[in-house]
A = this chain, B = another copy of it.
Amino acid sequence: MARPRQALLTKERIVEAAAALIDAEGLDACSMRRLATELGVQGPSLYNHFATKAEIVDAVAEVVVAQVDISVFHGNDWREALRLWAKSYHAVLAAHPNIVPVLATGPGRRPAGLAMAEAVYGALIDAGWSRARATHIGALMRYLITGSALGSFALGFDADPELYDHYPHLHRAHELAAHRDAVDEGAFQLGLDLLITSLSDRYDLGVRR
């Protein structure tokens, strides 16, 4: 087939298919040939629309980050805004866990990531935090959110019960996987609570740097 009368591919179609493939089968499954197959096309044809595979994956990351609600930074106290944003971010990553390793390396040049950084940092600055502290708080929130999204704590423990025979306190660790949601959600909620309440305490004491 040479150039078709109607283009088979668009950037949007490619990104959509890549996102679906990554969600369904993981980053490794999303090879250029496989992705092309999903789109009914040969592998190298994708290079007519993206220069590299990294650009495609980046575009997927972009649409995922764009789903995070940053409107909460308007009209809310910085504490409440931070909490709502973190929950939204966490929920988005929970819905697309396979792309998290890409996001964990930072906003890079992605508009949605930069817009999010702008919103978070701006809100903290406007609240009166020093530039250094606002940066730290932003980084810290990212550590918590991506750290929790990156690998399930509960699933990090092998399910083989015998493995824990020699670790007296871990004798029920093989049950963690069954309570995955409660464990991982509970830890995230606790972390968010602890961080925001203690930041709030400092703030109220006037310690903003």
* A184–B178 CA distance with the chains assembled, in angstroms: 35
**Does A147 reach chain B (CB closer than 8 Å)?**
yes
Tell me which residues from 190 to 209 in chain A have a Cβ below 8 Å from any Cβ of chain B. 190-191, 194-195, 197-199, 201
Count copies of this chain in the complex: 2
Chain B nearest CB from A21 CB (Å) reads 21
A65 to B87: give the CA distance in the assembly, Å.
31
**Complexed CA–CA distance, A51 and B139 (Å):** 39
Q: List 20 A-B contacts (CB under 8 A).
A: A104-B147, A106-B157, A107-B156, A108-B156, A109-B163, A114-B170, A117-B173, A136-B186, A139-B148, A139-B184, A139-B187, A140-B194, A142-B147, A143-B143, A143-B147, A144-B144, A146-B151, A147-B148, A147-B150, A191-B195
